Amino acid sequence: MAKPIVAIVGRPNVGKSTLFNKLAGKRISIVQDTPGVTRDRIYAEAEWVSKVFTIIDTGGIEPENSDLIVAQMRRQAQIAIEMADVIIFIVDGKQGLTDADNEVALMLRKSKKPIVLVVNKIDKMKDEPNAYEFYNLGIGEPITISSAQGLGLGDMLDRVVEHFDTLNMEEEDDETINIAFVGRPNVGKSSLINKLLGEERVIVSDVPGTTRDAIDSHLETDIGKFTLIDTAGLRRKSKVKEEIERYSVIRTLAAIERADVCILMVDATEELSDQDEKIIGYAHELNKAIMVIVNKWDLVEKDDKTMINTKKILQYKLSFMAYAPYMFISALTGQRVGKVLDLAKQCYTNYSRRIATGVLNDVIGKAVLMKEPPVVALKRLKIFYVTQVAIKAPTFIFFVNNPDSLHFSYERYLENKLRESFDFSGTGIKLIFRERKE
C-alpha cells in the first residue's frame, strides 16, 4: 500500500523547515557509519496516531526579490499539487496576509486537493486573533501553531490524517513490478528504457537533464508486467543551486519510494559520483531491491580483467549494499540489454521472499550456537524467537531479552547468516529487535 504524501508549501521564512524538522523528528537520523546514505532533508517519514506518511519540504533557496518569491512559490505549489495527497499551506501569523499567499491559495483551491491551512508564529494566546484574516484565502479554517515551540501541532496533524480516510489510495497491482532507473544526467537511462520498450517513448537526448520529471512506461513480457520509471538525472551538489534541480531530487526520491526495484545506472567512462551514492543510499535505506547497471561498456578499452576490476571499484564505493548484483551493458548497441529485466525480476522475487517460521528459527538457533552474542553493558543478548512479519522488503522481528544489549556487529552477523541460508541477493532486508520477557 502506498504511503500518503504530505507536502509543505509556503513563502520564505514562514517556518516550513522548522515544521518539517519537528514532524520528521528523530526518524530522519541515519546510521553514521554507512557511507553515501546521508541526504538532504527534503523527504522524511512521519507518524501520527499509527498512520505513517511521507512529508516533503518543498522549500529550498529563499529568494530576496519579490517577483522571484512569487515565481518560486508557484513552482512549489505546482510540485505539491502534482505529487502530494494532502498539502499543508503555511502562512506567517506575525507578518499577515500577502499577495504571494493569495496567489498560491488560488492555485491550491483550483487543484481540488485537500489543503490544511496553518498559521505559524502564534506563540502566545494574545496572537490568536492574527489568524482571522487568513479566512479570506477561501481554503477553510486556519489552524494556529508555533512550529518553533511545538504548539498546536497535534491539532494540525489530526486535520492532516483526517484527510487520509477520504483518499483513494489505490492498492498497487501486485503483479506489476515497478522499476525506477536512477543516476546522473546523460548516463543512458532513457536510451535503455527505449531499448526495453522497443520504441521511442522517452525523449533521448545528449543534453543532460532532458528528463525533468519521473516518467512511467508500461511493458508486458513473457516474464511479467513492468512499470519502468525514468527519473531526472541528478547533478553534483555544487550545481544543485537551481531550485528546479531540487524538485528533480524530490521527484527522484518519490520515484524510489514507489519502486520495487531501483536500478542505479552508471557511466562506464566516468567515476561514480557522491550524488549517485546518495540517491542509491536512499533506496538502500528503504530496503528496496537494488541492482547496478554499468552502461556504455562498448566505449571501454578492455582485457580479461577489466570487468572484474571495475566491479571491485564500484563494490568498494557502494560497500553498504554488498547484496546488489552488477551488470555491464551498452544501451546503444543492445549488448546484454535482453537480460536486464530477467535480473530485475530475480531481485524482485527475493524482495518478495517469505521464510517459514520454523526454518527461520532453526537457522538463527544454529547461528547463536556457532557464535554467542557479546556482552554489552554487563548484559548478554538472548534471542527467544524470530518471525517474518512482512515482504517487500523481507522484515524479521527478533524477540529478545533486552534490545539495548545488541551490538551492531552481531546484528550484521545475523543478517549475514540469513543471507547465507536464503537467497536475498539483490534486496535489502530489515531486522527489528523487540523486548519480550522470558
Going by the annotation, the residues of the binding site for GTP are: 10-17, 57-61, 120-123, 183-190, 230-234, 295-298
Give the pLDDT score at 32: 33
The better pLDDT of the pair 275, 221 is held by 221
Q: How confident is the model at residue 70 (pLDDT cuts 50, 70, 90)?
A: confident
What does the radius of gyration of the chain's CA atoms come to, in whole angstroms? 24
* Residue 302 in this model has a pLDDT that exceeds 80: yes
Give the pLDDT score at 60: 56
* Residue 1 in this model has a pLDDT that exceeds 70: no
Q: How confident is the model at residue 65 (pLDDT cuts 50, 70, 90)?
A: low
φ/ψ (deg, to 5) at 346: -60, -45
Residue 157, Cβ neighbours under 10 Å: how many?
21
The percent of residues in the chain predicted with pLDDT above 90, rounded, is 49
* Residue 173 in this model has a pLDDT that exceeds 70: no
The strand pairing partners of 55, in sequence order, are: 6, 44
Angle at the Cα of 170 (from 73 to 427), degrees rounded to 5?
90
pTM recorded for the entire structure: 0.72
d(CA 117, CA 418): 48
Strands 51-57 and 43-48 come out as antiparallel
User: Could you tell me which CATH number the domain at 5-164 has?
Assistant: 3.40.50.300
Give the pLDDT score at 204: 54
Give the pLDDT score at 36: 37
Per residue in 208-231, pLDDT tens? 444 445 568 888 899 999 999 988
Cell for 255? 520515484
The better pLDDT of the pair 399, 148 is held by 399
| Of 74-78, 159-163, 363-367, minimum mean pLDDT range | 74-78
Rounded to an integer, the average pLDDT of 1-22 is 82
Average pLDDT, the chain: 84
Per residue in 310-359, pLDDT tens? 999 999 999 999 999 999 999 999 899 999 999 999 999 999 999 999 99
Amino acid in the structure at residue 75: R
d(CA 177, CA 92): 44
- Domain boundary assignment for the chain: 5-164, 176-351, 357-435
Give the pLDDT score at 26: 44
**Range list of β-strands (E), 339-382:** 375-376, 379-380
The percent of residues in the chain predicted with pLDDT above 70, rounded, is 85
Give the pLDDT score at 10: 85
| Of 98-107, 169-178, 202-211, minimum mean pLDDT range | 202-211
Whose CA is closest to 270, among 321, 236, 228? Answer: 236
Amino acid in the structure at residue 25: G
Long-range contacts of the stretch 365-373 (C-beta < 8 A, 24+) = 367/413, 367/414, 367/417, 371/413, 373/405, 373/406, 373/407, 373/410
Decide: 233 and 214 in contact? Cβ < 8 Å.
Answer: no
Q: Hey, do 176-351 and 357-435 end up sharing a CATH topology, with the first three levels equal?
A: no
Per residue in 375-387, pLDDT tens? 888 888 999 999 9
Give the pLDDT score at 33: 36
Give the pLDDT score at 236: 56
Cell for 317? 564505493
**What's the chain's length in residues?**
438
d(CA 218, CA 178): 9
Decide: 10 and 16 in contact? Cβ < 8 Å.
Answer: yes
The correct CATH number of 357-435 out of 2.40.50.140, 2.130.10.30, 3.40.50.1380, 3.30.300.20 is 3.30.300.20
* Residue 55 in this model has a pLDDT that exceeds 70: yes
* Residue 206 in this model has a pLDDT that exceeds 70: no
Place of cell 543510499: 281
Judging by beta carbons within 10 Å of its beta carbon (0-12, 13-18, 19+), is residue 40 exposed, middle or buried?
A: middle
Rounded to an integer, the average pLDDT of 64-88 is 77
Identity of the highest mean pLDDT range in 65-74, 128-137, 163-172? 128-137
CATH superfamily, region 176-351: P-loop containing nucleotide triphosphate hydrolases (3.40.50.300)
Give the pLDDT score at 28: 39
* Residue 62 in this model has a pLDDT that exceeds 60: no
Give the pLDDT score at 74: 74
Give the pLDDT score at 251: 75
| Of 54-58, 109-113, 233-237, 389-393, minimum mean pLDDT range | 233-237
d(CA 418, CA 73): 48
* Residue 35 in this model has a pLDDT that exceeds 80: no
Going by the annotation, the residues of the binding site are: 10-17, 57-61, 120-123, 183-190, 230-234, 295-298
What's the DSSP call for residue 304? Answer: T
Distance from CA of residue 24 to its chain's centroid?
14
| Of 194-203, 296-305, 360-369, 390-399, minimum mean pLDDT range | 194-203
What's the DSSP call for residue 170? Answer: P
Decide: 389 and 425 in contact? Cβ < 8 Å.
Answer: no
